[in-house]
Amino acid sequence: MRHLIDISDLTRDETNELIETASDIIVNPDNYTNKCSRKKIATLFYEPSTRTRLSFESAMLDLGGSVIGFSSAQYSSVSKGESVADTVRTVSCFADIIAIRHPKEGAALVAAMNSPVPVINAGDGGHNHPTQTLTDLLTIVREKGRLTDLTIGCCGDLKFGRTVHSLITAMARYSGVRFVLISPDELVIPEYLRNGVLKRENIPYVETRSLDESIAELDILYMTRVQKERFFNEADYVRLKDSYILTPDKLAHAKSDMRILHPLPRVNEISTAIDYDPRAAYFRQVRYGKFIRMALILKLLEEAEE
Ligand code: CP
């Protein structure tokens, strides 16, 4: 059974195929309206979400399928102590495919190991968020026309920001990609990414504390929120939460065709004064998330039937 737990579960060619399918869905939505009739997705969200859950549900509805699930563990038997494994075994009796978000790293893998239907990781703790990365890649293709030869700045909470971890892993597979990693000392990328991806694959990268000094060289600026829910200490969060705020003054130094991405939700790290700048792609990015999830659901259900 094919699952998507980590972005590396997809080859680069498969990722490109998903982007092609999503691009076709954008142009020819009517060709896809009945592709999943009589199919159900279960969205099991143990952690809050707006975009990911609703885009999975919209994706399945636009494919002609239907949706079951819960948006908070408190409204399921999880609140009585049921394990992820038992929950998934149960839900797979009712659904053809499962999307799960959980605050614990590895929970989606546990779900996959216990599921007879495809499982999609919709975010596991500070670890991975592969469908956000597919969304990010589709956004970069739609906005820049390519996934190669790009200088990508990742700014903010690079330690706990699971979307950055998956993005670096995915973009490291394309030629000519260079990373500028902008964070406070306390929130630098985890060692497993620095050694296991960037150094091992000889990907050019720099680590810096300064957005002001880096912004002019970037093709993509990937802003992230400081992840309050991952801090053990409130004082540390308060000290670090406003480390970077993208304002019109700062943006004035960026390339005219740079694109700003953000997985959202935004807290304070991008001034709303930027929202109508053509470089601000983050709400277009939300829209692309539905199309790439449609492509992914189609692929995993097709493979499950083979
Ligand atoms: N980008 C993202 O995962 O947003 P939600 O937390 O709203 O799903």
Q: Is the pLDDT of residue 51 over 90?
A: yes
Return the percentage of the chain with pLDDT > 70, whole number: 99
Q: Is-catalytic flag, 101? A: yes
CATH number, position 216: 3.40.50.1370
Residues 134 and 280 in one domain: yes
- Asked if residue 2 is part of any domain, the answer here is no
Catalytic residue among 129, 162, 241, 262: 129
pLDDT at residue number 24: 98
pLDDT score for 133:
97
Strands 178-182 and 66-70: unpaired
Whose alpha carbon is nearest atom 1 of ligand 1? Answer: 263
Sheet order of strands, 205-208 included: 205-208, 178-182, 151-155, 220-223, 259-261
Q: Do residues 35 and 88 both lie within one domain?
A: yes
- Mean pLDDT estimate for the chain: 95
Query: Taking a C-beta distance cutoff of 8 angstroms, is the pair 157, 187 a contact?
Result: yes
Residue 266 Cα to ligand 1 middle (Å): 10
Averaged pLDDT, 161-187: 94
Could you read off the pLDDT of 198-219 as tens digits, one per residue?
A: 999 999 999 999 999 999 999 9
**Atom 3 in ligand 1: which residue has the minimum CA distance?**
52
Q: Which of 101, 159, 259, 262 is catalytic?
A: 101
Are 122 and 150 contained in the same domain? Answer: no
Model pLDDT, residue 232: 67
- Mean pLDDT confidence for 244-269: 96
Ligand 1 atom closest to residue 289's alpha carbon, by position in its atom list = 1
Count of domains for the chain: 2
Pocket lining: 196 vs ligand 1, CB cutoff 6 Å: no
Range of the domain at 19: 7-128+289-305
Mean pLDDT of 239-252: 91
